[in-house]
Amino acid sequence: MLDGPTIDPKEILPQLLDFIRKRTAASGRHRLVIGLSGGLDSTTSAYLGVRALGRENLVGYIMPYTTSSAESTKDAVLVAGELGIEHGTVDITPMVDAYFRSFPDASKVRKGNFMARMRMAILYDRSEVQDALVLGTGNRTEALLGYTTLWGDMACAFTPLGSLYKTQVRQLAAPLGVPQKIIDKPPSADLWAGQTDEGELGLTYEEVDKLLYHMFDLEYDNKALKKAGFDSAFIKRVRNMVAANAFKRQMPDRPG
């Protein structure tokens, strides 16, 4: 069986903490705000933020919508309590519903993207109040596949998990102290009832991370990937996703 991407948490943790400290200091600020969803990425990022700067310098915001999982909100509160950080709740339902009253036939994807952008607008407003930077929570798998919302969850001052695949984030989480129930729960952006990342993508993070690792880290071409046992259709689908979403991974292009 082919190996997937792995990390040594003891080796990478000091690097990530140093990254957070340097990026924050370079801005002339010393505080961070973060959106707490109760999921693995935001929780792991929050634990890193506290390790790097202290609990007094991280403020978490829980931003549920009416269809958000009550369990997710409960987990977000659990994380804030475990870390001992200042936190608050902003219900985005009134502002989201006010907009979509004019577009009653909007799809779930449209509404989900709008929720993600509304949450980030709130975080940036709260960052001004707190004289803080917005701490990102995205990982490398999401960025490569484009499973992110431009100017939504992608927006941040910096993202310490940005060089880690989703499965590597899980490897880091346990030694960092993230509660096991959050490590074990199915990944979800919680944008509508019953939504999961893997269900929406139609693949598992374990299988796609293994493919992405061989594509980009080991630089296997398609022939080598097929020889290694990856399905041709899967290879083509993932390469197309990576290529189609390249615009999300760069600043807006311009001529000249």
Q: Considering the chain, what is the average pLDDT of its residues? A: 94
Q: What are phi and psi of 64, to 5 degrees?
A: -75, 155
pLDDT 10s digits, 5-64? 999 999 999 999 999 999 999 999 999 999 999 999 999 999 999 999 999 999 999 999
pLDDT digits (tens, 9 = 90+) for 208-255: 999 999 999 999 999 999 999 999 999 999 999 999 999 999 988 888
Q: Where are the domains of the chain?
A: 9-197
pLDDT at position 186, please? Answer: 81
Read off the pLDDT band of 190 (50, 70, 90). low
Domain topology for 9-197: Rossmann fold (3.40.50)
Identify whether the C-beta of residue 205 lies closer than 8 Å to the C-beta of residue 141.
yes
Q: 72, 37 in Cβ contact below 8 A?
A: yes
pLDDT for res 201:
76
Would you say the pTM of this structure is higher than 0.85?
A: yes
